Amino acid sequence: MRRLYTLLLYLALPFVVPSMAARSWREGAGLRGWRQRFGFGAFHEGGGIWIHAASVGEVQAAAILIDALRAQRATEKITLSCQTATGLARARALLPGIELRYVPYDLPGSVRRAFTRLRPRLLIVMETELWPNLLAAAARAGVPVLLASARVSERSCRLYRRLPGLLRAGLKSQVWVGAQSATDAQRFCRIGVAAERVSVTGNVKFDRATPADIKQRGDALRERYAAGRPTWVAGSTQEGEEPILFAAHQKLLATLPRALLIVAPRYPQRVDAVIAAVNAAGLSCARRSRPLPSEPYSVLVLDTLGELMEFYAAADVAFVGGSLVAVGGHNLLEPAALGLPVLSGPHQFNSPDIARILLESGALVTVQDAAELAQTLGRLLADPQERTRRGTAAQLAIEANRGALARLLGLIEVIDATAAMPPAWAPQPAEGRTQ
């Protein structure tokens, strides 16, 4: 089954490469690092940790773990790989000094070259990235793999079970799982990971520390862009979602004419499309990267990277995108950690446990459409006591669910102590000596 999967990848390559190149160009990265997608790059001496995080959301989680590893193991070489240019850009901002690479395509030659050059002693994969040839290459090289803060949907679990030859060999080797929930742990066992190597560590995103000066930075942005105005932020919005948000804002303006919507599209290359949607909705617009217009504006578009948390800190209410369309929702914890009431659409399947925890605590409100969103915003923006109650509930829920980072660090210690065999490039003991 893995051979068939590989054949299909090779057949798709002539179509995938131009598409990925075009996307990289739109994201402002050009063709930098493209050789890394085929496993090329500088050679390492070996013994470090390779961490893979697909894009921005996984990078945020990886950064929490990497900061802790740097504090514990100052001399350890850490390399972070990503799939997207936006992921790498976010990693540069969060993790100065870390070596960054594009992850290789999941082709046998590409992943083999990457392992030969990086020569890691441990591969850590964040959340949901299960690549058959990457896992097989790790098994052949004797490199243990930790699936950290890992989750797998029931749909994916059923698919992997119907195609047992795709992942089972790679998962049977030195693969450990730090699952987000007991349900995720059971699913990983069902698809072939040995039960003794699966544990529930929780979601490391709960352990993200809020910057000490975030309130001051938020206050400064509020003074510049929204002084005295009821303000809500729509973060990480996706295609098809902004027209719904702008329709809700139009309704909100009927009762709160000075209300401001700050919209942050998930992908910066979509900024022009978002501005076109603002104009189509008949709303006035300003852009973060440009001087403020002289006339009043009702929407501020963030066309910069890495500032969403600061703008959440400047707001009264947060809406988290990717949830009014069937993308699955983005990071609910970032605004919740700032003590904001959080709104979301009904599509929350990317992080169902986080959504459940925040819903049960009273921190999260789910809305179905523009009318319900406008109604909920109007109620919250008019009631500071309800905003405070929901924001406090959000912070308490996060505090109650911390601890995944410590459990992951403990699991890494276990892997270091019990890995079945050293990587192929590890120094071998002299004849007659024990390891």
**How does pLDDT run across 260-310, given as a tens digit for each residue?**
999 999 988 899 999 999 999 999 999 999 999 999 999 999 999 889 999
**C-alpha dist (Å) from residue 271 to 301, 305, 309:** 8, 11, 18
Contact 285, 275 (CB under 8 A): yes
Q: Does 308 or 57 have the greater pLDDT score?
A: 308
Q: Does 379 or 15 have the greater pLDDT score?
A: 379
Greatest mean pLDDT among 16-25, 152-161, 244-253 lies in: 244-253
Question: What pLDDT does 432 receive?
Answer: 36
**Residue 29 CA to its chain's centroid (Å):** 19
Reported confidence tier of residue 435, pLDDT bands at 50, 70, 90: very low
Contact 268, 27 (CB under 8 A): yes
> From CA 374, how far away is CA 25, in angstroms rounded?
37
Contact 163, 392 (CB under 8 A): no
Question: What pLDDT does 204 receive?
Answer: 96
Q: Indicate which residue of 58, 129, 241, 334 is catalytic.
A: 58
> From CA 170, how far away is CA 166, in angstroms rounded?
8
Percentage of the residues of the chain whose pLDDT score is greater than 70:
96
- 175: which 2 tokens? 């693969």
| Mean pLDDT over each residue of the chain, to the nearest integer | 92
196 is catalytic: no
> From CA 152, how far away is CA 129, in angstroms rounded?
9
Output b/e per residue, 340-350; b: 16+ Cβ within 10 A.
bbbbbbebbeb
The yes-or-no verdict on residue 433 having pLDDT over 50 is no
Q: Does 32 or 260 have the greater pLDDT score?
A: 260
Q: Give the range among 25-29, 208-212, 227-231, 377-381 with minimum mean pLDDT.
A: 25-29
* Neighbouring C-alpha atoms within 13 Å toward the C-beta of 167: 19
Please enumerate in sequence order all residues whose Cβ is within 8 A of that of 301, keeping only pairs 6 or more positions apart, or say none: 263, 264, 265, 271, 274, 275, 278, 285, 286, 287, 288
Neighbours of 71 (CB within 10 A): 8
Contact 44, 119 (CB under 8 A): yes
Strand stretches in 198-341, DSSP E: 198-200, 231-237, 260-265, 285-287, 299-301, 317-320
